[in-house]
């Protein structure tokens, strides 16, 4: 796996890099939020480890920038903050997982492997998301279900991408709104329901079940067994 480590603590950076390299990971390092975003935009990574407290952009802002650019990588937030509201804020900013300092390197490695498996689904192509019969080509921005090419708008594409990056996880309307519409204040949460309906219609194929499920009062999730 190719990992981008965005961390300004020099001692911790050396330790993490040494441990991950010994494990067989390829590691690039950025020491500020702005540098981390710049590097992420130029190279393909499987995942980024993002410290919360960084010079320039902080960790949540880095995650937001990477998610807004729809870069195909997992994001692991690394921080000393342990309150529930901090963890929630980190996840809402776009992080896929959260690890609190101090941590064991064994757990860090295990979380990176789990993150890589979850985000890649069944594909070994870093520019492809594949969940069951659903495939998103992140390079050409084409989507298909089985052999059918899906004619998706940009908003529908972003919505499906978000659901596929979090398979079997119930995502609230606010989470989907923030991810898909990039925190546009004028967009109402009810718009999520409208576009879920549009997306379901385009995913509808004879003899295939609806892969998008509703958890009433909580949100929506992509049901892997129906994908």
**Segment 121-171, tens digit of pLDDT:** 544 555 677 888 898 887 778 899 988 899 999 889 889 988 887 888 888
112 shares its domain with 13: yes
pLDDT at 182: 61
* 88 and 183 fall within a common domain: no
pTM metric for this prediction = 0.56
pLDDT at 127: 63
Contact 167, 224 (CB under 8 A): yes
The confidence score (pLDDT) of residue 197 equals 95
Q: Are residues 54 and 111 in the same domain?
A: yes
Q: What is the pLDDT of residue 83?
A: 62
Residue 196, pLDDT score = 95
pLDDT at 100: 84
How much is the pLDDT for 85?
Answer: 65
Alpha helices in the chain (DSSP H): 10-23, 33-42, 59-68, 84-92, 105-120, 154-165, 173-181, 190-203
Residue 179 has what pLDDT?
Answer: 73
For 118-128, how does the pLDDT look when each residue is reduced to its tens digit (9 = 90+)? 665 544 555 67
Same domain, yes or no: 193 and 92: no
The pLDDT assigned to 33 comes to 94
Q: List all residues 6 or more positions away from 166 whose beta carbon is below 8 Å from its beta carbon.
A: 96, 221, 222
| Domain identity same for 133 and 161 | yes
Domain span holding position 142 = 128-226
Does the pLDDT of residue 52 top 70, yes or no? yes
Same domain, 12 and 43: yes
Domain boundary among 61, 94, 120: 120
Confidence of residue 16 (pLDDT cuts 50, 70, 90): very high
Residue 105: exposure state from Cβ atoms within 10 A (0-12, 13-18, ≥19): middle
Least confident of 46-50, 116-120, 168-172: 116-120
Task: Read off the pLDDT of residues 68-112 as tens digits, 9 standing for 90 and up.
Answer: 887 778 899 888 766 666 666 667 778 888 888 888 888 888 888
pLDDT of residue 221: 92
Number of domains into which the chain is organized: 2
* pLDDT tops 80 at residue 36: yes
pLDDT grade for 28, boundaries at 50, 70 and 90: very high
Q: What is the mean pLDDT of residues 23-50?
A: 91
Q: Cβ atoms within 10 A of the Cβ of 117, count?
A: 11
104 & 155 share domain: no
**Length of the chain in terms of residues written:** 227
Segments in 3-104 forming alpha helices (H): 10-23, 33-42, 59-68, 84-92
Cα 160 to Cα 120, 138, 139, 170, distances in angstroms: 15, 12, 15, 13
Out of 120, 143, 167, pick the residue that ends a domain. Answer: 120
Residue 204 has pLDDT above 60, yes or no: yes
């Amino acid at each position: 796996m190719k990992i981008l480590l965005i961390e300004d603590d020099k001692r911790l950076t050396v330790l993490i890099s040494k441990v991950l390299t010994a494990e067989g990971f390829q590691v690039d390092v950025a020491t500020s939020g702005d540098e981390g975003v710049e590097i992420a935009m130029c190279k393909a990574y499987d995942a980024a480890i993002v410290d919360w407290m960084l010079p320039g952009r902080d960790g949540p802002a880095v995650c937001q920038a990477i998610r807004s650019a729809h870069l195909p990588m997992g994001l692991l937030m690394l921080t000393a903050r342990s309150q529930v509201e901090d963890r929630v804020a980190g996840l809402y900013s776009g992080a896929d997982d959260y690890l609190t300092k101090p941590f064991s390197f064994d757990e860090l490695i295990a979380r990176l492997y789990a993150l890589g498996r979850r985000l890649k689904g069944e594909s070994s192509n870093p520019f492809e998301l594949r969940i069951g019969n659903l495939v998103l080509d992140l390079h050409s921005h084409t989507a298909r279900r089985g052999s059918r090419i899906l004619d998706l708008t940009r908003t529908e594409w972003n919505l499906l991408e978000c659901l596929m990056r979090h398979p079997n996880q119930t995502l609230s309307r606010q989470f989907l709104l923030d991810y898909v519409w990039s925190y546009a204040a004028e967009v109402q949460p009810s718009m999520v329901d409208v576009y879920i309906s549009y997306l379901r219609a385009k995913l509808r194929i004879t003899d295939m079940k609806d892969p998008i499920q509703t958890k009433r009062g909580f949100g929506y999730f992509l049901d892997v067994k129906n994908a």
